Amino acid sequence: MSPEFTSGIKSNQLIFEHSATGRTNGAQMVEDVASASEIPEGLLRKTPPMLPEVSEMDAVRHYTRLSQKNFSIDTQFYPLGSCTMKHNPRACNTLALLPGFLGRHPLAPERFGQGVMACLWELQEILKDVTGMTAVSLSPMAGAQGEFAGVAMIRAYHDANNTSGNKSERSEIICPDAAHGTNPATATMCGYKVREIPTNTDGDIDVEALKEVVGPQTAGIMLTNPSTLGVFDRRIKEIAQIVHDAGGLLYYDGANLNAILGKVKPGDMGFDVIHMNLHKTFSTPHGGGGPGAGPVGVSERLKPFMPIPVVGKDVVGKDEGSFRWLTETDLPQSIGRLSAHMGNTGVLIRAYVYALLLGREGMVRTADYATLNANYLMARLAQAGFDMALPSRRATHEFILTLKRQAKDQGVTAMDFATRLLDYGFHAPTTYFPLIVPECLLIEPTETESKETLDAFADVMKTIQEEADANPELLKDAPYTLPVRRLDDVKAARELNLKYSPAKD
Residues that bind its own copies (CB under 8 A): 1-11, 18, 20, 23, 26-27, 55-58, 60-61, 64-65, 68, 73-77, 87, 89-91, 98-99, 357, 362, 423-426, 448-450, 452-453, 456-457, 474, 480-481
- When the beta carbons of 417 and 424 are compared against its own copies, the nearer one is 424
Q: Does 398 bind ligand PLP (CB under 6 A)?
A: no
Among 62, 158, 180, 286, binds ligand PLP (CB under 6 A): 180
- Compute how many residues bind ligand PLP; rule: CB under 6 A: 14
Residue 364 belongs to what H/E stretch? helix 345-383
Instruction: Say if residues 298 and 135 touch (Cβ distance below 8 Å).
Output: yes
**Any residues with CB less than 8 A from the CB of 478 and at least 6 apart, and which?**
416, 419, 420, 422, 423, 486
Looking at the Cβ atoms of 137 and 406, the one nearer to ligand PLP is 137
283 binds ligand PLP (CB under 6 A): no
* 336 φ/ψ sector (left φ>0, alpha ψ -120 to 50, else beta): left
Residue type, 89: P
Kind and range of the H or E run holding 197:
strand 193-197
Q: How far is the CB of 276 from its own copies (least distance, A)?
A: 22
Q: Select from another protein, ligand PLP, its own copies, none the partner in contact with residue 253, using the beta carbon and a kind-dependent cut-off of 5 to 8 Å.
A: ligand PLP
Q: Which of 119, 135, 138, 142 binds ligand PLP (CB under 6 A)?
A: 142
Site for another protein contains 486 (CB under 8 A): yes
From 88, 124, 131, 182, residue interacting with ligand PLP (rule: CB under 6 A): 182
Select from 108-116, 120-128, 136-144, 448-456 the region that touches ligand PLP (CB under 6 A): 136-144
Q: Which residues contact 467 (CB under 8 A, 6 or more apart)?
A: 420, 474, 475
- What are φ and ψ of residue 387, in 5° steps? -95, 130
CA dihedral of 430, 132, 156, 282, whole degrees rounded to 10: 40
Residue (405 or 451) nearer to another protein, CB: 451
d(CA 432, CA 138): 31
Strand order in the sheet with 387-388: 387-388, 399-402, 440-443, 430-431
Q: State yes or no: residue 294 binds ligand PLP (CB under 6 A).
A: yes
Q: According to CB under 6 A, which one of 230, 292, 309, 445 is a site residue for ligand PLP?
A: 292
Cα–Cα distance for residue pair 94/75, rounded to 1 Å:
19
Residue 343 is a binding residue for another protein (CB under 8 A): yes
Identify which of residues 82 and 88 has a Cβ nearer to ligand PLP in the complex: 82
* Binding footprint of ligand PLP on the chain (CB under 6 A): 82, 142-144, 180, 182, 224, 228, 253, 255-256, 277, 292, 294
